[in-house]
Amino acid sequence: MTVRRASLQLVVCAFAIYAAAANAQTKPDVRLPLKDKSVKFAAIGDSGTGERDQYQIAKQMDAYHKAVNFDFVIMLGDNIYGGHEPPDFERKFEIPYKPLLDAGVKFYASLGNHDDPKLEPLYKPFNMNGERYYTFKKGDIQFFALDSNYMDAEQLTWLEQNLRSSKAQWKICFFHHPLYNEGKMHGPDLDLRNQLSPLLKIYGVNLVFSGHEHAYERLKPVDNIYYFIQGDSGKLARHDFHRSDQMAASFDRARTFMIVEVVGDTLYFQTISQDGETVDSGGLSRQAATVKAASLGK
Amino acid sequence: MASFAQAPPPPGSNDAKVVADFEQRAKQYLDWREKTVGKTPSPVNSPEKIVAARHDLANKVRVGRAGAKQGEVFSSEIADYFRREIAATLNGHHGKQIRSSLRHSEPTEMELQVNQSYPEKVALQSTPPTLLLNLPELPNGLEYRILGRELVLRDSDANIIVDYVPNALPDIAK
């Protein structure tokens, strides 16, 4: 079979999946305030399967984008499962999110354990500028995309320097492995927590998004920091939670994505399933830092 | 500013000499690679170009290092040093959490060969940060990876296994 014919079959197959996914409910039930000059974005995690469920989520994202007009999407890792040949980038990213990409929505990726830590940062549509970890600003928010697979001294030093110098009102970190979670599949990464959480606390990080656990979970604040786990935009692990007082909300019956709007000191969020059902929503107030870095002599 | 790297072995000690020798070998590998095949390309839109550049780089490394054997970068002395450091870290203050992280990191086992590509479809096992902080720092382009009980030195640009330490980790299931 020629490469061209194989590629054509891949595209036809992908569009067939996309068309099938269109059957899901697509009328958006928006619960964000949609204020002028707010920062609006979406979040997906563990998305890159290239399978029907990913396409169904992508279809919902497109419908919500038309209603909400979010500017960008953060990716919480496992952006491309399996092989990393050119057709994988097409089937697992370019085709499902084509309407969003065509509309000018930017994607900012972080690396999961199924991602290639060298190829993906070089892939321009992931906006990683060739780096495993990086930072960017949107309005009053500074985002820190981390590589939780390989948290070496260099990355920790970089994070400390950048958190310390940030003047942003909101500091949001996103990375693949959750520091806290009640999932049965993976659970929290305790050693990563040992190294990262003191920095997040000292330098006033407000919110952390992670993936890896194939379900949705919102935790009660830990050390005054909000934690979301959103590892089910492609993969799903049903009935994936231990009961816990730590959990504020959870969902593991279908795949989800999130939309977020930051208006001044409030961050509004809405979590939407592949069927268009809103499974969680609310507003979170920006916290005052629990510990002043200056008081610790940092 | 916090310093995250752990204290190196005392200057003049045998361990310090062994670590310095390892760092020199790692640097020599990278110097050779950059001289032979050039530096990493800039980000582009085309996955074809990125993947082709990776394959080209990996092929040049394989040809240039044909006949390379396990132990060329990880000498037996440094391998022993790594085994001791890793065992001490796993039995140290954060040992329980590190073992937990290792068990949850989707451990993979495969037969290793120097100059072999790390299989694209196999997840990269995450490396516990505290363990990384206790190992000698590597120059950009090289990284440590854990595969089952082996410690791998991986050329991250070429996705090539440069060398490995067999049985670097104790059996964490015990």
Q: What is the CA radius of gyration of chain B?
A: 17
What range does the domain containing B134 cover?
14-165
Q: CA-CA distance, B4 to B18, in Å (whole number)?
A: 22
Task: For residue range A228-260, list pLDDT tens digits in order.
Answer: 999 999 999 998 888 889 999 999 999 999 999
Contact A105, A98 (CB under 8 A): no
Kindly state the percentage of chain B with pLDDT values over 70. Answer: 95
Does pLDDT of A10 surpass 60? no
pLDDT at A297: 36
pLDDT at B73: 96
Sign of the dihedral defined by the CA atoms of residues B22, B25, B30, B33, in that order? negative
Q: CA-CA distance, A101 to A107, in Å (whole number)?
A: 8
Q: Phi-psi bin for A236: left (phi > 0), alpha (psi -120 to 50), beta?
A: beta
Task: For residue range B147-166, list pLDDT tens digits in order.
Answer: 889 999 999 999 999 999 99
Task: For residue range A78-107, list pLDDT tens digits in order.
Answer: 999 999 999 999 999 999 999 999 999 999
Contacts of B104 in chain A (CB under 8 A): 186-187, 189
Instruction: Give the H or E element holding residue A52.
Output: helix A52-68
Does pLDDT of A17 surpass 70? no
For the residues B87-110, what does the mean pLDDT come to? 86
Domains of chain A, with CATH numbers?
Answer: 3-296 (3.60.21.10)
Lookup result for tokens 């949705």: A216
Whole-model pTM? 0.91
Contacts of A157 in chain B (CB under 8 A): 1-4
Does pLDDT of A293 surpass 50? no
For an interface test with B, give the residue of A180, A191, A192, A197 to mutate (most B CBs within 10 A). Answer: A191
Tell whether B173 is covered by a domain: no
To the nearest whole angstrom, how far is the Cα of B104 from the nearest Cα of chain A? 6
**Looking at the 3D structure of chain B, how many domains does it have?**
1
Tell whether B71 is covered by a domain: yes
Count of A-B CB contacts under 8 Å:
131
Contacts of A125 in chain B (CB under 8 A): 45
Tell whether B5 is covered by a domain: no
Tell whether B160 is covered by a domain: yes
- Residue B54 has its nearest CB partner, among A119, A151, A152, at A119
For the residues B59-68, what does the mean pLDDT come to? 93
Tell whether B172 is covered by a domain: no
Q: How sure is the predictor about A185, in pLDDT bands with cuts at 50, 70 and 90? A: confident
Per DSSP, which regions of A121-178 are E strands? 134-138, 141-145, 170-174
Residues within 8 A of A (CB atoms), B 103-162 only: 104-106, 120-121, 123-133, 137, 143, 156-157, 159
Tell whether B7 is covered by a domain: no
Lookup result for tokens 């060739």: A130
Tell whether B134 is covered by a domain: yes
Q: Look at B50 and A122 and tell me if their CB atoms are within 8 Å.
A: yes
Contacts of B46 in chain A (CB under 8 A): 86
Q: CA-CA distance, B121 to A244, in Å (whole number)?
A: 34
Q: Look at B97 and A130 and tell me if their CB atoms are within 8 Å.
A: no
Kindly state the percentage of chain B with pLDDT values over 90. Answer: 63
